[in-house]
Amino acid sequence: MKRICARIDVKGENCVKGKNYEGLRKIGPAGAIGHHAFDAGFDEVFYIDLVASLYRRNFDAAVVNQVASSLFIPFSVTGGVRSIEDAKALVVSGVEKVGVNTRAHQDPGLLDEMAGLFGRQFCVLAIDAKRLGSGSYECQVLGGREHTGVMVADFVKAMAPRVGEILITSIDRDGCLTGPDLELIEQVAGLCKVPLVYSGGIRNVDDIRLAFRAGASAVAVGAAFHDEGFVANEAKVLLQDEFEVNL
């Protein structure tokens, strides 16, 4: 079944949202917004700390502990995972999957180590893609603040066999409600055999339909959920003519 996930960017214990990863404004308590996502019929929640790696912090443990014992849909955490101990602490806290972004460039072996302890299905490769030109995307790290010089296509080819899922975000569309980058989805979906979650620019059910057709296994909805009252269950009712969804 295709999934509609909520994307909850966090800073400390709060949910925040920016545009193109900049100008983060506070939305509300991150834990409570996870529960709103459940009420709105989302299939899964992606918690992402955009600045954890930048400041060499870990994801807020209090948020994880609260969410894990009371949110009865899957949630993953991405941001600031730098060691196997960081990953282990998240598992014990109740996290279903852990995403690695910046560290995957610095130390790709960390994902292998995580897979060796917790299984490949536990490891999410999070990629922040910056469009350079037609069909050309660069991986950026540290919450979109630093160039890597590594092309998304090359990184996906090298890393996809070592992880359980790819979460790809279009930095150019993030928070902008300008629709998904279908070219990016098509490119990455064609290069990997693991599930692909797309994030960036999703406004409504029509955008989700296009993202699914382009090859996404799931979409992550951020700004439309926080600001536009997007309800996943309503979208799923409309999508079930073409896709299998969880209703």
List of residues contacting another protein (CB under 8 A): 1-3, 38, 43-44, 65, 68-70, 72-74, 88, 91-97, 115-122, 164-165, 193-196, 217-218, 246-247
Active site residues: 9, 128
**CB-based contact 46:78 (threshold 8 Å):** yes
**CB-based contact 88:109 (threshold 8 Å):** no
Nearest to another protein of 28, 116 (CB atom): 116
Residue 225 corresponds to which tokens in the numbers above?
């959920």
| Distance, CA of 189 to CA of 166 (rounded, Å) | 9
Nearest to another protein of 141, 235 (CB atom): 235
- Closest distance between another protein and the C-beta of residue 165, in Å? 6
**Burial, 114: exposed, middle or buried (Cβ in 10 Å; 0-12, 13-18, 19+)?**
buried
- Closest distance between another protein and the C-beta of residue 216, in Å? 11
Nearest to another protein of 23, 109 (CB atom): 109
| Distance, CA of 145 to CA of 14 (rounded, Å) | 21
Q: Which amino acid is at 124?
A: V
Rounded to 5°, the CA angle 205-151-76 comes to 50
- Closest distance between another protein and the C-beta of residue 65, in Å? 7
- Closest distance between another protein and the C-beta of residue 64, in Å? 9
Nearest to another protein of 94, 179 (CB atom): 94
